Structures are given as C-alpha cells and as structure tokens.
Amino acid sequence: KELHALLRAAGQSSHGLAKRNYALIQLMVQAGLRISEAAAVRMTDLTSHERSGSIRVCDAKGLKEREVPLNAAARRAINAYLSTSRSRAPDDYLFFTKRNQPASIRTLQDTIARLARKAHVKRIRVSAHTLRHTFAINYLKAHPGKLVELAALLGCESLDTVAVYTRPTQEILALDLE
C-alpha cells in the first residue's frame, strides 16, 4: 500500500521530474540498489532490451562490480524517463536534477523523503534503504531460501548481512498468530 502511494506521488511530481522520480523509485525497489549505486549509474552501465535488461553496478561497497538484472517494471520506468529527457552521452549519469546537473546522493535521498511525505506514508520511515529492504523481502517471498542469490544481487559478501531480511516482521508474526 505504501509503495503504491509512493509511486503515485513520484508520478505526480512537478517541474518535469515525474518520470525521473518514478524511475528512481522503481529502480530502487525492483533492483535493490544502494542510493550511492543509483546515483553513480551511467548510461554505459545500462542494458535494456524488450524482454531483458540489467545495470552494471561499478561503485558498489568494497569497489566490487556486479550485474543486476532489471525486471519489466524497472525497464519501462527507466525507458519512459529516458524518452523524455535530453539525449545522453554514454558517460552521462542516469539521474539528473531539474537544472541538468547529475543528481547527488543527497538529492536522491531528499527526493525519496519528499515523495514519502507527499504520499502521506507515516507507518514506516521511508528511505533509500527501506526501498532496498523492500526489494530483499519481496525477493525472498518469491524465492524462499535463496540467500546466496539475494546476496549476489545486493552486492553483499556475507550471508550474515543478508540473513537480516529473513527475520519476521511484527506484522508477519501477528498474522501467524491469528
């Protein structure tokens, strides 16, 4: 429910930023990138075809590189954003500000926080990490027990880091007791 409200708020952004903000939220929640990784994505890192796509994450923690697949929702959002923005050179960053400057980590964090306020999401504190966490939880719901695969997607070296996503939330525990 909160995610849909956040996406709706992103799609209603002003100053011509609706498609950028929608693409940002979709990328974060569908690919599980860290905010620093999303800010560092360049056009050369993107591969998008009709039925497949990926992002090469080069600025990951520990300076390791990984390839993160993009699902159809993320590809559509990114393609819609790119179709409305100026033409890009291969070395250009993916996300730009309304002043045509590469969007910084802080700008993207502020954008997510502003969208959460606009969407009236109060039950949880929405941040870039919350979106990454949502990706991990959704992945494990769809693919139970695939911690090694999730660790690879998230760029985590240790399974202990990923194991945090297997802990049940209060909501899940309450539903189990009904």
pLDDT in tens, 42-91: 999 999 888 999 999 986 566 678 999 999 999 999 999 999 877 788 89
pLDDT in tens, 14-32: 888 999 999 999 999 999 9
What pLDDT is recorded for position 169?
Answer: 62
For residues 142 and 47, what is the distance between their CA atoms, to the nearest angstrom? 24
> Which one, of 2, 126, 139, lies nearest residue 68 by Cα?
139
Q: Which sign, positive or negative, has the C-alpha torsion 47, 48, 51, 54?
A: positive
